[in-house]
Amino acid sequence: MGVYKIFSFCSDPSALASFAWLSCYLTTGKHFLFYYSFGTVLGLLAITGPTALIFGFGGAILAQSQLFLLRWIGKAYISIVRGVPDIAFFLFFVIALDQGFEWLRHQAFCPNWSEPIRQGSDFIVCKAAKLPLGTAEQYVHEIYGFFTAVLTFTIVFGAFAANVIHGAMRAVPKAQIETGQSYGMNKRQIFWRILVPQMWIYALPGLSNLWMVLIKATPLLFLLGIEDIVYWARELGGTQLAKFSAYPHGDLRMYYFLFLMVFYLAFTKISEVILERLTKRLSHGQGILGSDA
């Protein structure tokens, strides 16, 4: 990547004074990749938040199902994911999902394949089953990597959300359900018209907590091989020699990570304020502590 110029005076960085040097340095092409990677993190949060909520809702419905098998699946999903260090799950799912998809495609596309898929320490599927295909463009690989990361986050945080929602469903006062029954509603009607609208206020504190946790889990993207803010902070902050860079500098990683720290602190603080307001609004008129009515 050549010297990327936003300001015209940036053409000869070695001749610049410190302030001008900094403004040129912070607008190099690589720094823009760094700034875009904040978008990656926000994108991950924007997608994972709702999808994890859907997973959590599904898990909670399963966990209180009448059928033994469904209930068992829901409860197993919730308790297994919560019992193990999350980072182990992140590392596990990314490979496991990848291999799972390739295995499924292998079964579908290459039914005549006779060799075993696991040969010693290799995982071999036919060419047509590779994900993404070996011929695919670079950006397809990047999108696929992001997709598996999102799916991993969704599975892990879905389990946590399922736990919260499951608890919230049971916290809705019994009398409300009984009122529904006395009006002659069937189970489905009671569930959708009484239980679901009322459970959110009980779920909100847990879900707010989960959102904060989700924000704080985003640096783990780095471990999943995504070029996220941690990756770029390490890359850009590391010592640059004059031989390879127009902007040689010593080890600046400390400052880059200080910046990330401030970013996360601001983000969690803002979220906290917004969620607090939301809780206040939702609890308006509910007969519980902390509401006005």
Q: Which residues bind another protein (CB under 8 A)?
A: 82-88, 91-92, 95-96, 99, 118, 121-123, 160, 163, 206, 209-210, 213, 215-220, 222-223, 230, 233-234, 237, 251, 253-254, 257-258, 260-261, 264-265, 268-269
Write out the H or E segment, with its range, that includes residue 118. strand 118-119
* Triad 232, 234, 237: Cα angle to 5°: 95
Pairwise CA distance, residues 155 & 93, whole Å: 9
Comparison of 10 and 57: residue with beta carbon closer to another protein:
57
Residue among 142, 150, 114 at smallest CA distance from 41: 150
Q: How far is the CB of 293 from another protein (least distance, A)?
A: 24
CB of 163 to another protein, least distance (A): 8
- Shortest spacing between CB 4 and another protein, in angstroms: 26
Strand partners, 119: 122
Phi, psi dihedral angles at 118 (to 5 degrees): -95, 110
The torsion region of residue 11 among left (phi > 0), alpha (psi -120 to 50) and beta comes to alpha
Computed on alpha carbons and rounded to an integer, the radius of gyration of the chain in Å comes to: 25
CB closer to another protein, 96 vs 108: 96
Query: Is the CB of 196 or the CB of 223 nearer to another protein?
Result: 223
Residue 248 CB, nearest distance to another protein (Å)? 17
Q: How many CA atoms lie within 13 A of 293 on its CB side?
A: 8
Q: Of 165, 164, 226, 219, give the one whose Cα is nearest residue 195.
A: 165
The two three-digit tokens of residue 278, written as one number: 């939301």
| Pair of tokens at residue 68 | 């033994």
Question: How far, in Å, CA of 290 to CA of 280, rounded?
Answer: 8
Least Cβ distance, residue 3 to another protein (angstroms): 27
Nearer to another protein, 23 or 279 (CB): 279
| Cβ at position 96, least distance to another protein in Å | 5
Answer for the pair 283, 290: CB distance below 8 angstroms, yes or no.
yes
- Identify which of residues 38 and 257 has a Cβ nearer to another protein in the complex: 257
Cβ of residue 187: shortest distance to another protein, in angstroms? Answer: 29
User: Measured from the CB atom, is 166 or 190 closer to another protein?
Assistant: 166
In whole angstroms, the minimum distance from the beta carbon of 34 to another protein comes to 15
Q: With respect to another protein, which residue has the nearer C-beta, 62 or 221?
A: 221
Closest CA to 268 of 225, 212, 230, 199: 212
- Compare residues 24 and 37 and give the one whose CB is closer to another protein: 37
